[in-house]
Structure 1
Amino acid sequence: MTDALDLPGWTHVYSGKVRDLYRPADGQGDRMLVVASDRVSAFDHVLSPGIPGKGELLTTLSLWWFGRLAGADGGRAIANHLTGGDVPAAVTGRAMIVRELDMLPIECVVRGYLTGSGWAEYRTAQTVCSIPLPAGLSDGDRLPEPIFTPAYKAPLGEHDENISFARAEELVGAERAAELRDTSLEIYRRAAATARARGLILADTKFEFGVDAHGVLTLADEVLTSDSSRYWDGAAWAAGTTPAERMASFDKQIVRDWLAANWDKTGTPPELPADIVTRTAGKYRELLEKLTA
């Protein structure tokens, strides 16, 4: 599954679905090297082939958002895990040197629009992660207010699990859970406003946080990328009458849709067709251009 490289000065220690982690080879300090690969995942499986250039595109977008959220957008500075240092030449453009954190076992999902697994739950229970929602909503509708719907981060190879806020409190404590919720909602609102000004809708997204040596909640991993978020075309959403028209996306929804139509989620996923790979790469690049131009 991994395409981790031998990098001078760094020792490979872990590979997730799409990123590879390294520690300094001398074992000194609390820095880590995070390398974004071109691997792509959907439905908790790593797929083949990867998306050419994906690692660099997503790293570029993450760095842009980390800068915005550090105060460049006029809001309060959100602490993040970036630290100084030069990345190895072999991974220039798709790697970040970060501080090692005590990562929290919760994915902080914020939904501003009803779709995906939230839509599936709403159809049966009129709730999303046990949060009651108004009757009569359709796939792709804007929610009255953004909602925080955490998930438990399952080990590699297992499915992440949507959980209630009460369960999040059990996992990390009431005070920390409230901080995760409030910070996630703040980041979502700021990012959604930035996207809106560029003709985009940030439908939903997920964040990961850790705690530094001083107990400070710190934004980590990737942030607001095409892999961790759903971005839609604002004009298409306003004019669309069907979910497909309304949710014209700039993310890996192309991959999800193709896989859902061609795989029953048992066994090994099929290989992605070349046109799906090409279209997905194009959407990733288009989103970066629209946001950062």
Structure 2
Amino acid sequence: MNISEIVALGLWPESKKTTNKKGLPELENLGYNLFYIGKNADLYTCPGNEPKVLLVRSDRCSVFDIPLNLEIEGKGIYQTSISNNGAEFAKKSGIKTAILDEKIDDSLDISPRCQVMELCKPLEAEIDGDIVQFEFIFRNYLTGSLYEACQNGKDPYGLELAPNLKQWYKFETPIFTPTTKGVKDEPLNSTEVRKRFPEIISNLEKLFKDFTVFAEENGIIVVDTKFEIFINSKGEWVLGDEVLTPESSRFIAKKDFEAQNYISMDKQILRNFAKDNSWKEQAKSLEAGQKLDVIVPDSIKNEILSGYSTIQNSLIK
């Protein structure tokens, strides 16, 4: 299936620019054709007529939606492995993901970075007169942007949390803090989104609770996670490719957490470095398609890879 057929199915947004560049020869020679270059992964059309694509993860990095000239060797392989594991965990909970069981030839050098995906479109709905996409976020602890909002007397999700809660307060049951997905993620009223998507939210909440228990039993504290929902060609809702991974979740080693040493083992490491070096300010001068030139010491890169490795070794059984 070629890109024009994909667009005709309504499963690819015209706003996302495709590419005419050739992909990796070992894939192109087998009939997989590169059509989209993302911040962290590339997409190829697949041979045949089924609505599916091949996702190939790179070692490229981005943070705060800023494309970077940074690569961390091996990150994409870890990420793919953890993503496959998250999808399998979801499957056991009865939740379908866009990741298909089909694999490419494992003798190919690129195979550890590949996932065959069902082609889907993002879940959309009208909110306050605008058609928006969603990020469904569940939190076990009060920290990050929600803690800052509470400190400032704000209630962005309509949760009516007690005003005197301390940072790292553990919620009795995970709280749901949905946002729109876009250039700027806008908080949405938790109760209203639950009413709109009751089946989806209840299933995701159970998945998050079950995974939290599983992870803690294996030495990992799950602080929060983000789910992105898509609609496939049959009209069914499915989870995207980032299912319970370091790209969509915040993980802390249990031994560190219990020592109140809240060292993140995920993308937060790079976010913290970005904040310290004012990458957001630097990125304001970028032109469309331009990447931010950054210098990241090996110590930071190794810390990120060590976190990914720990997560993989702890959660994949």
- Shorter chain as denominator, the TM-score bin is 0.7 to 0.9
Asked if 2 retains the 8 angstrom alpha-carbon contact of 1:109 and 1:149, the reply is yes
Name the Cα RMSD after superposition: 2.4
Asked if 2 retains the 8 angstrom alpha-carbon contact of 1:44 and 1:159, the reply is no
Asked if 2 retains the 8 angstrom alpha-carbon contact of 1:48 and 1:272, the reply is no
- Within a 5 Å distance, the mapping from 1:230-241 to structure 2 comes to 230-240=250-260
Distance 1:204 1:256 in 2: 16
Q: Using the aligned pairs only, state the percent identity.
A: 28
From the CA coordinates, give the structure whose radius of gyration is larger.
Answer: 2
Q: Which residue of 2 aligns with 1:95?
A: 114
- Aligned to 2:72, the other structure's residue is in SS state coil
- Within a 5 Å distance, the mapping from 1:61-140 to structure 2 comes to 61-71=82-92, 76-87=93-104, 89-104=108-123, 105-140=133-168
CA drift at 1:109: 1.0
- Within a 5 Å distance, the mapping from 1:152-231 to structure 2 comes to 152-154=180-182, 158-165=183-190, 168=193, 174-175=195-196, 177-231=197-251
CA drift at 1:212: 2.3
* Amino acid in structure 2 at the alignment position of 1:23: T
- Aligned to 1:97, the other structure's residue is in SS state strand
Q: Which residue of 2 aligns with 1:19?
A: 41
After TM superposition, the runs of 4+ consecutive aligned structure 1 residues lying more than 4 A away are 166-169
Asked if 2 retains the 8 angstrom alpha-carbon contact of 1:148 and 1:184, the reply is no
CA drift at 1:54: 0.9
Distance 2:218 2:61 in 1: 26
**TM-score of the superposed pair, with normalisation by structure 2:** 0.78
CA drift at 1:188: 0.7
- Aligned to 2:67, the other structure's residue is in SS state strand
Asked if 1 retains the 8 angstrom alpha-carbon contact of 2:60 and 2:70, the reply is yes
2:81 corresponds to 1:53:
no
Asked if 1 retains the 8 angstrom alpha-carbon contact of 2:22 and 2:33, the reply is no
Asked if 1 retains the 8 angstrom alpha-carbon contact of 2:156 and 2:187, the reply is no
Residues 44 and 159 (structure 1 numbering): CA distance in 2 closer, same or farther, change over 3 Å? farther
Q: Which residue of 1 aligns with 2:306?
A: 282
Distance 2:178 2:61 in 1: 22
CA drift at 1:12: 2.2
Asked if 2 retains the 8 angstrom alpha-carbon contact of 1:151 and 1:163, the reply is yes
Distance 1:162 1:20 in 2: 29
Segments of structure 2 that go 5 or more residues without pairing to the other structure are 1-18, 124-132, 284-291
- Aligned to 2:76, the other structure's residue is in SS state helix
**TM-score of the superposed pair, with normalisation by structure 1:** 0.84
Residues 263 and 167 (structure 1 numbering): CA distance in 2 closer, same or farther, change over 3 Å? farther
Asked if 2 retains the 8 angstrom alpha-carbon contact of 1:109 and 1:148, the reply is yes
- Within a 5 Å distance, the mapping from 1:1-16 to structure 2 comes to 5-6=23-24, 7-8=27-28, 9-16=31-38
Distance 2:296 2:166 in 1: 30
- Aligned to 1:255, the other structure's residue is in SS state helix
* Amino acid in structure 1 at the alignment position of 2:82: L
* Amino acid in structure 2 at the alignment position of 1:21: L
CA drift at 1:126: 4.9
Distance 1:128 1:113 in 2: 16
CA drift at 1:128: 4.8
- Aligned to 1:93, the other structure's residue is in SS state helix
Q: Which residue of 2 aligns with 1:250?
A: 265
Distance 1:180 1:99 in 2: 19
What do residues 50-88 of structure 1 show as CA deviations (whole Å, max 9, x unaligned)?
2211111011011112112211xxxx3111222243336
CA drift at 1:229: 0.5
Distance 1:129 1:145 in 2: 16
Distance 1:264 1:94 in 2: 28
Asked if 1 retains the 8 angstrom alpha-carbon contact of 2:153 and 2:163, the reply is no
CA drift at 1:234: 1.9
Distance 1:165 1:202 in 2: 20
Residues 196 and 151 (structure 1 numbering): CA distance in 2 closer, same or farther, change over 3 Å? same
Aligned length: 274
Segments of structure 1 that go 5 or more residues without pairing to the other structure are none
Q: Which residue of 2 aligns with 1:292?
A: 316
